[in-house]
Amino acid sequence: MTGTLVLVRHGQSDWNLKNLFTGWRDPDLTELGVQEANAGGKALADYGIQFDVAFTSVLTRAQRTCDIILENVGQIGLTTIKDQALNERDYGDLSGLNKDDARAKWGEEQVHIWRRSYDVPPPGGESLRDTGARVWPYYLTEILPRVLRGEKVLVAAHGNSLRSLVMVLDKLTKEQILSVNLATGVPMVYKLNGDSTVASKDVLGDMSAAH
């Protein structure tokens, strides 16, 4: 018997709206972000899933998204485990900067490399590979065993921490993952086989809305 893993990127945050590098900084959701989280929760309610446990990061935008989703599926108060292993990628010296200002300071090409390369970190920050290096062990030790026991597990986290998981689940190369963007508030429902490979994947919403 295997279970279900649901991944949801948090709704839009204040800093997403302002075009700022966010990383481990802790802005809250915008009004649109709350709407996106509610839409994701309603989609999961319509899907008919009830969770056994939820995981989220230590950052407000992911925790609020998680809470809103659980409210929509009628599971307020569900056991929710918070861990910084699921935090967004740390943008280091870029954190808090407007993306246009960063391009003016370091050049468009360099900022693009930091944002979109697999293994080149910004100054003082993490690459996608570095992010995966903390996400993957946590997934293998804390999340996957529950799914393989047959539990239904919600993970509400961030664009890059979830891209790290999608890379493994969807068996993407380090080149393929670079073009993958996850839409805010759109649940991805994975059913896993007993050997931890993916039996099926359902996206409950419009992935073309990714930004």
Please list the active-site residues. 10, 88
CA–CA gap between residue 138 and residue 133 (Å, rounded): 9
- Residue pointed to by tokens 């996106």: 36
Nearest to 2 by CA among 139, 153, 148, 146: 148
CA–CA gap between residue 57 and residue 201 (Å, rounded): 23
Question: Judging by beta carbons within 10 Å of its beta carbon (0-12, 13-18, 19+), is residue 25 exposed, middle or buried?
Answer: middle
Beta-carbon contacts of residue 86 (< 8 Å; ≥ 6 apart)? 55, 56, 57, 62, 135, 138, 155, 157, 158, 161
Alpha-carbon Rg of the chain, whole angstroms? 16
Q: What is the torsional sign of CA 51, 57, 58, 61? A: negative
Question: Can you list the positions of beta strands (E) in the chain?
Answer: 4-9, 53-56, 80-82, 152-157, 188-192, 198-203
